[in-house]
Amino acid sequence: MKFTNLLIAISLSLTSLSVMAGLGEVEGRTTCTDIEPVAKKVLETSGCYYSGSIGASNSYAITELDFILDNSDNFSIVDNVWFEHDKKGKVINKKTVVTYSGLKAKTVMLKVKTLKEVSKQEIEKRNKQPNPKFSDVLYCYKIIEKGHDAATCVPYDLILKIS
């Protein structure tokens, strides 16, 4: 293959990759809730401002959000997901890395009233219904490093809206 043909092939493949990717800026106000997951206790609920970026391609997704609470406390979330698709389009080999202000974290979904975990199966079941409702679900970022028991949650509806 000639060098010029190789350059054309590379640039065409890069162009096709960029078509399958997107990035957007988000900002707004929501409610942030600090909870104690083990005791299933709400510690504090306050208004908060968020801003950040949401992006995805056919094999990667990223959410980077900064939150500023009404009491001036703040935290940052980075949620990276890498994945592949099998021949039927089903997601396989999914790897997720979440950080909460630089500390290793995980995401969990909890019911607003009971703070009990909502299963992925329940979320999938609701998503199959016309006009699914998620106002009773919190999307929580829980630090998983030793010595950290609290989590900060936002309405799951917000995550759906900005994704």
Would you say residue 139 lies in a domain? Answer: yes
Please say if the pLDDT value at position 19 is more than 50. no
The total number of structural domains in the chain stands at 1
Would you say residue 46 lies in a domain? Answer: yes
Q: What's the confidence (pLDDT) of residue 86?
A: 86
- pTM of the entire structure? 0.81
Please say if the pLDDT value at position 4 is more than 50. no
150 vs 133 pLDDT, higher one:
133
| Contact between 26 and 53 (Cβ < 8 Å) | yes
Q: Tell me what the mean pLDDT of segment 134-157 comes to.
A: 91
Would you say residue 120 lies in a domain? Answer: yes
Would you say residue 5 lies in a domain? Answer: no
Range of the domain at 26: 21-162
Would you say residue 14 lies in a domain? Answer: no
Q: What's the confidence (pLDDT) of residue 27?
A: 97
Please say if the pLDDT value at position 88 is more than 90. no
Q: What's the confidence (pLDDT) of residue 91?
A: 79
Number of H helices, E strands in the chain: 3, 8
Please say if the pLDDT value at position 141 is more than 90. yes
Those residues whose C-beta lies under 8 Å from the C-beta of residue 159, and which sit 6 or more positions away, are 139
Least confident of 36-40, 48-52, 54-58, 156-160: 36-40
Distance, CA of 103 to CA of 99 (rounded, Å): 5
| Contact between 34 and 44 (Cβ < 8 Å) | yes
Q: Tell me what the mean pLDDT of segment 143-149 comes to.
A: 85
